[in-house]
Structure 1
């Protein structure tokens, strides 16, 4: 590793003793070796603090342990931002403690960024990973999602913004994306008002509004499905109620960026907000679809791997 690593890998964790070692091992397994690893503890009370400190002690040149003052829990966005502030790499890649990278992820993504200097970020396909249990019935459920755009292409704004707003195909996952650090800093990092739910969407909305992104067809990460993390099928009512704070924030963010309320982007956000602002009327209008089996899977359509 060079004195100033090319890539800063950031793993945030909270009470993640069950999976943390596996996530860290997937970073060490990378074919690209010019990286540092920042382990950001968001106030863990289990053995994961000791696990992370142990890795930092064994690899002081490469692995660094970070925590908030007083070992405080401040949420996922604040934890990611703490890692970003300490990062030295030109590129930043995130990994949650229960997910893993495939070995060629960093090498192949760095090559894309070096080949496409316009690209602010790169992401590809993510395995929705049930098969980590080893049970054949779970392995059979593993799949990847539709990208929604032509793969291996530089996508300019606002195409990915609209896809993320629609939320029916694969959008970036934090475990898959790699981003230029200067772009990350320019958009202001992660929104710390989002402690958990939709913290990634708020960040990616800002990137998709401002910069071209390269979308690849390559599988680079595994997104582990378990009761504490699984994105499950929910009713439209639950979906719109949970998403309203994100969309309210997004409408205010667009206004703050000088985007007119009558612009196509602002109107699209208002259309998405309508069901959560008028839940009873929306429930009545969508009753026929629900009766026809209208529980909506927000993870989108996919294919088996």
Structure 2
């Protein structure tokens, strides 16, 4: 491809059995107001018609859309698939778009403008519209802001302390993020998170971001995060597998933090509390669960007394 056509932004979309949503997702990139992008479609061994949809768009936009797959059309998981896309990306910025999510038309333009205004930022995150209404008008959408003060820059490790899964604040969705390309010179998606544990793949990536990068958090919400009962997150919760997956992530995080001997000790304190239900369930119940139940009961009693 002509060097003069090198894209500013590489968009990475990995897909597996997403024939129902993939076309809408791709079209939301094609419809961006900012046009200096490339879209890398990574087929994670999809057995349905998703590859046909992807290849149709490659044919329609041969200079802008790229199709990749693993050797022998294998299914390797979202982390290996994203990393494959990153390895082929040519843009100065990289954005991720899940294969069932959708961007509003000014998503790329808005985030590139913010990068220009905040040159210290290496990562940009925005709020997300939790998209229920795609199923019908009876479902109400909800904007979820990232759980820290909006429209400001954060240095490491502030967000590790404030955001899920160690802090109380809501974490960002991958489809609402953009990073400078050089972030991926030292941070990639963690390929250990496959199968059920892939529910936490974005949190493993974000932990690395929080500890190493300057992050700007925007209150804008130019991404629609599709909510559906068939999602892996939903199924893991429904089947009672959530806590085994969470423990797997927390133990990975504990090992990862060993690389940072001079880390903020508040992180260790939060991690110790997060692991306590799995290592010391009785102690956790006495210190946290029981007092919380008592406090809630007292609050309900006081409310009834005041309202009587």
Match of 1:257 among 257, 260, 274: 260
- Structure 1 residues 288 and 88: alpha-carbon distance in aligned structure 2, compared to 1, 3 A threshold: same
Q: What secondary structure sits across from 1:198 in the alignment? A: helix
Aligned residue number for residue 298 of structure 1 = none
Shift of 1:59: 1.1
The verdict on how the C-alpha distance between 1:150 and 1:22 changes in structure 2, with shifts beyond 3 A counting, is same
Q: Greater Rg, structure 1 or structure 2?
A: 2
Give 1 or 2: higher helix fraction.
2
Q: Secondary structure at the match of 1:228?
A: coil
Alignment of 1:85-124 (within 5 A): 85-124=87-126
Q: Tell me which residue corresponds to 1:297.
A: none
* 1:136 partnered with 2:137: yes
SS of equivalent residue, structure 1 residue 11: strand
Match of 2:147 in 1: 148
SS class of match (1:219) = coil
Shift of 1:170: 2.4
Once the two structures are TM-superposed, the CA of residue 144 in structure 1 deviates from its matched residue by 1.3
Number of residues of Structure 1 aligned to a counterpart in Structure 2 = 288
In the TM superposition, what are the counterparts of 1:222-301 in structure 2 within 5 Å? 222-229=224-231, 231=233, 239-259=242-262, 263-279=265-281, 282=284, 286=289
Q: Is the 8 A contact 2:148 2:169 kept in 1?
A: no
CA distance in 1, matches of 2:268, 2:258: 8
Cα contact 1:165–1:269 (8 A) shared by 2: no
Residue 58 and residue 157 in structure 1: after superposition, are their counterparts in 2 closer, same or farther (change >3 A)? same
TM-score (normalised: structure 1): 0.87
Give the 4+ runs in structure 1 shifted more than 6 A. 290-294
Tell me the distance in 1 between the aligned counterparts of 2:292 and 2:54: 48
1:140-164 deviations in whole A, cap 9, x for unaligned? 2x10124332211111121211123
Aligned-partner Cα distance in 1 for 2:14–2:170: 22
Listed as ranges, the gaps of 5+ residues in structure 1 are 295-305
Residue 291 of structure 1: CA displacement? Answer: 9.4
Structure 2 unpaired stretches of 5+: 298-308
CA–CA distance in structure 1, aligned partners of residues 92 and 112 of structure 2:
10
Q: 1:70 to 1:259 in 2, by over 3 A?
A: farther
Residues of 2 paired with 1:146 and 1:172: CA distance?
Answer: 8
Distance 2:255 2:65 in 1: 38
- 1:208: how far off? 0.7
Equivalences for residues 1-305 of structure 1 within 5 A:
2-133=4-135, 135-138=136-139, 140=140, 142-162=141-161, 163-166=163-166, 168-187=168-187, 189-195=188-194, 196-229=198-231, 231=233, 239-259=242-262, 263-279=265-281, 282=284, 286=289
Relative to structure 1, the CA distance from residue 234 to residue 278 in structure 2 (aligned partners, 3 Å threshold; closer, same or farther) is farther
Cα distance in 2 between the residues matched to 1:241 and 1:224 = 25
- 2:127 counterpart SS class: strand
Q: Say whether the 8 Å CA contact 2:199–2:232 is kept in structure 1.
A: no
